[in-house]
C-alpha cells in the first residue's frame, strides 16, 4: 500500500520573510508601535503555504495593511532591478529544492512511527472552542467555478405575526428562481455568500437592510435606527443598501413623512449607504433578484480568499482576486453585544438621547472615548455652568456644525443627575 506524501514548502516566500524580519528587528530596536503589526504579519506569512507574487497579494493575510503591502512592492521593485532572472524564480527554485530534498530523505530513511505522547484530558467545551478557533483561522481559497452564490434571508423576514404577508418573501424568490436560504442573521436582512463544495462560505461585500416606512418610523422613535446604522457601518461589509418599502398609502406611520425622508437622506449622505425605494414586497424581491444576477456575473471569474476583518481592502469590482469575510466570523462578530468595546457601548448610550444622531455621538466619542474621560473633564470644570457647556463647541458631521448648548446641557444632565 502506497503512502501519500504531503509536501509543504518550508519557506514559500523567503524574500518577503527576510524583509519583514529586517523591518521587525529595526522596529524592536526603536521600540516602535509598528513592531506588533509586523510581528503579526510575519507570523501570518510564515503560516501561509503558497508563494505570493507581490505585496498586493499579501493583503489577504492578517497584519498586512496597505502601507506594509506598498513597502513590499517597493522592495520587490528594487530587487527586480538588481536581478536578471524573473522575480518569482527564487521562490520556484526553493519549491523544487524542497521537493527534491523531501523525496531523497524518504528514499534514504525508513519510515518509523513515533510513539504518541499522552495528552491531558480536555473538556468537550474546550474541544469545541479549539475547533472553532481552528476553523476561524483556516484559510479558504475559492477558484473560479468552484463556488455558487446564494442569497441569505434573515428568519424574521419569513416568519412573524403577519405570516401570510411575510411568507410572500419565500414565494416571490422561488417564482423568480433565486437560489436562497433562510437563516438567522445577526446583521442586516439579506446578504450573499459564495459557498464551495466543502461547505465553506465567504460573504460578498453587499448587505441589505429592509425597512417599511412604518418600521422606519418605529425604529427612529425607539432609538434602534441609529444603533442599526452604526452596527452596519462596523460589520466589515463595505456596500450597505438601505431598502425602503412603502406602507400602503404611507399614512398613519407614526412620524411625518418629511421626517422620514430627512432620515433617509441623512443615511445616504452621512452614513454613505446606498438607498433603494420600492412600492411593495413584490418589487423588493424583484430588486433582490436583479442584484443576485449581477453578483453571479461579476464574481464567477474571480478568486475569493478568506480575510480577517482588519485586513479587508476596499472593494474593487475589476480585481481578479478578492479577500472576503467568512460567514461564521461575520455572524459571531456582529451578534448584538458581542465583544463590544467601551467606546462602542458609549456610542450606544448616547444614541438613546433624543435628537442625538450617530454623527453627533461619534464626534463626542472622538473627543472623549469613554464615559470616564467625560466625567473627568466635568470634574475639572470650575463651575457647573462651564461643565454644562463643555460639549457646546464640538464640531459634528461633514459641515462641522457645533453640537450646541441644548444638547451639551442634556448630556450633562443625563450623566450627572442623581436619581
Catalytic residue list: 154, 157, 189
- CA separation (Å) from 319 to 65, 165, 294, 299, 413? 17, 40, 16, 10, 51
Q: Alpha-carbon distance 318 to 338, whole Å?
A: 34
CB 365 within 8 A of CB 350: yes
- The H or E element containing residue 408 is helix 405-416
Q: State the CB neighbour count (10 A cutoff) for residue 212.
A: 20
Distance CA 120, CA 132 (A): 20
Partners of 401 in beta bridges: 396
Q: How far apart are CA 409 and CA 389, in angstroms?
A: 6
The separation between CA 374 and the C-alpha centre of its own chain, rounded to angstroms, equals 29
Nearest 10 degrees: Cα torsion 58, 59, 62, 66: 120
**CB 361 within 8 Å of CB 379:** no
Measured in degrees and rounded to the nearest 5, phi and psi for residue 409 equal -70, -35
Nearest to 207, CA basis, from 219, 225, 193, 197 = 193
Quote the CA–CA distance of 196 and 164 in Å, as a whole number: 34
Q: Which residues of 295-305 are buried (b: 16+ CB within 10 A; e: fewer)?
A: beeebeebebb
> What residue ranges in 197-314 does DSSP mark as E strands?
201-212, 239-245, 274-278, 303-306
Question: Diameter of the chain by CA atoms?
Answer: 87
Amino acid at each position: 500500500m502506497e503512502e501519500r506524501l504531503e509536501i509543504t514548502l518550508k519557506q514559500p516566500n523567503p524574500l518577503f520573510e527576510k524583509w519583514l524580519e529586517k523591518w521587525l528587528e529595526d522596529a524592536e530596536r526603536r521600540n516602535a508601535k509598528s513592531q506588533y503589526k509586523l510581528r503579526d504579519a510575519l507570523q501570518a506569512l510564515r503560516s501561509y503555504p503558497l508563494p505570493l507574487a507581490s505585496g498586493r497579494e499579501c493583503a489577504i493575510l492578517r497584519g498586512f495593511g496597505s502601507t506594509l503591502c506598498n513597502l513590499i512592492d517597493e522592495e520587490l521593485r528594487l530587487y527586480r532591478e538588481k536581478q536578471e532572472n524573473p522575480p518569482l524564480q527564487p521562490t520556484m527554485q526553493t519549491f523544487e529544492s524542497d521537493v527534491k530534498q523531501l523525496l531523497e530523505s524518504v528514499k534514504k530513511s525508513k519510515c518509523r512511527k513515533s510513539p504518541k505522547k499522552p495528552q491531558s484530558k480536555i473538556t468537550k467545551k474546550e474541544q469545541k472552542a479549539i475547533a472553532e478557533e481552528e476553523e476561524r483561522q483556516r484559510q479558504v481559497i475559492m477558484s473560479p467555478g468552484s463556488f455558487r452564490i446564494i442569497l441569505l434571508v434573515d428568519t424574521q423576514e419569513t416568519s412573524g405575526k403577519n405570516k401570510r404577508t411575510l411568507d410572500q418573501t419565500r414565494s416571490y424568490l422561488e417564482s423568480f428562481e433565486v437560489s436562497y436560504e433562510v437563516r438567522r442573521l445577526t446583521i442586516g436582512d439579506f446578504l450573499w455568500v459564495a459557498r464551495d463544495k466543502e461547505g465553506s462560505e465567504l460573504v460578498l461585500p453587499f448587505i441589505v437592510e429592509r425597512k417599511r416606512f412604518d418600521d422606519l418610523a418605529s425604529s427612529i422613535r425607539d432609538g434602534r435606527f441609529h444603533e442599526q446604522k452604526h452596527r452596519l457601518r462596523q460589520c466589515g461589509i463595505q456596500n450597505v443598501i438601505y431598502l425602503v418599502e412603502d406602507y400602503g398609502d404611507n399614512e398613519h406611520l407614526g412620524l411625518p413623512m418629511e421626517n422620514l425622508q430627512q432620515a433617509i437622506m441623512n443615511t445616504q449622505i452621512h452614513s454613505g449607504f446606498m438607498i433603494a425605494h420600492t412600492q411593495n414586497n413584490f418589487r423588493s424581491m424583484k430588486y433582490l433578484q436583479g442584484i443576485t444576477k449581477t453578483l453571479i456575473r461579476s464574481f464567477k471569474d474571480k478568486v475569493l480568499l478568506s480575510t480577517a476583518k482588519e485586513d479587508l481592502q476596499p472593494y474593487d469590482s475589476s480585481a481578479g482576486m478578492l479577500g472576503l469575510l467568512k460567514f461564521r466570523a461575520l455572524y459571531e462578530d456582529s451578534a448584538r453585544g458581542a465583544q463590544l468595546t467601551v467606546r462602542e457601548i458609549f456610542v450606544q448610550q448616547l444614541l438613546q438621547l433624543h435628537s442625538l444622531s450617530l454623527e453627533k455621538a461619534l464626534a463626542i466619542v472622538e473627543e472623549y472615548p469613554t464615559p470616564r474621560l467625560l466625567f473627568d473633564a466635568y470634574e475639572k470644570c470650575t463651575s457647573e455652568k462651564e461643565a454644562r457647556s463643555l460639549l457646546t463647541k464640538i464640531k459634528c458631521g461633514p459641515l462641522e456644525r457645533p453640537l450646541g448648548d441644548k444638547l451639551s446641557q442634556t448630556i450633562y444632565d443625563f450623566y450627572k443627575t442623581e436619581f
